Amino acid sequence: MSNVTALDDEARLVASAQAGDRRAMDRLLRAHQPQIHAVCRRITGNDADALDATQEALVAIVRGLPRFDGRAKFSTWAYRVATNACLDELRRRKRRPIVGLPEHDGATVEPVDHSTPDPGDQVGDRDEIDAALAALAPDFRAAVVLRDLCQLDYAEIAEVLEIPAGTVRSRIARGRAQLADLLRGNQPAADERPTPTP
């Protein structure tokens, strides 16, 4: 199926869902739920918050679909909804720290111990990447995830995050640089970590 045909099918599905077709809505949500959850998992940094943010995003998509005007691709709009749900979840988490667990939003994350990794084990790599992503400022994290996981271009990310494309480039560059440092084990102290600039 060509990309144009897929977009046409999706546009018909969106139109049917907006007209009240529950099966169309269900198909639309099922088609996008895995990508939405993947974005939420990487931005929130843990399964529990990712599930909460995913659920919140899916509910927001259902409620907001009547106002979706089709100027952006549906997936771009869905990523915006999911990213906002994640950032809301991170703000809530910051207000209610969990006793006994490290807070990723301002504390240095302990490196994951993989002293005897299996060479073919991708889970260890994923855990290290997740831990490093969790140590980034949420604005950097969102930009990097949308670019490197979702493969959105700079204009789409600017639309999702509602910021200028130049700011997107800056956040991705700075986020990737910090991520590389963290993955090499060079973790800046919390008070030395740069904060995102709008």
Topology of domain 1-98, per CATH?
Answer: Rna Polymerase Sigma Factor; Chain: A (1.10.1740)
CATH of 118-198, one of 3.40.50.300, 1.10.10.10, 2.40.30.160, 3.30.70.100: 1.10.10.10
Of 32, 36, 29, nearest to 51 (Cα)?
Answer: 36
Q: Are 152 and 146 in contact (CB under 8 A)?
A: yes
Q: What's the pLDDT score for residue 120?
A: 36
Render 25-36 in DSSP notation, one character per residue: HHHHHHHHHHHH
Give the per-residue pLDDT at 127: 80
The DSSP result for 35-92, as a single string, is: HHHHHHHHHH-SHHHHHHHHHHHHHHHHHHGGG--SSS-HHHHHHHHHHHHHHHHHHH
Using DSSP's 3-state secondary structure scheme, residue 7 falls into helix
Helix 47-64, helix 74-95: angle, nearest 10: 130
The per-residue pLDDT for 172 is 96
**Tokens encoding 34:** 């895995």
Residues sharing a CB contact under 8 Å with residue 75, sequence separation 6 or more, in sequence order: 10, 32, 35
Q: Backbone dihedral region of 12: left (phi > 0), alpha (psi from -120 to 50 degrees) or beta?
A: alpha
pLDDT score at 119 = 33
Domain ranges of the chain: 1-98, 118-198
Render each residue's pLDDT in the chain as its tens digit; 198 residues: 556 676 678 899 999 999 999 999 999 999 999 999 999 999 998 899 999 999 999 999 999 999 999 888 899 999 999 999 999 988 888 775 544 444 444 433 333 333 333 333 344 577 888 888 989 999 999 999 999 989 999 999 999 999 999 999 999 999 999 999 998 886 554 444 555 555
Instruction: Give pLDDT, residue 96.
Output: 58
> What are residue 32's phi and psi, to 5 degrees?
-105, -10
| Residue 116 confidence (pLDDT) | 32
pLDDT at residue 46 in the model:
87
Q: What is the pLDDT of residue 6?
A: 66
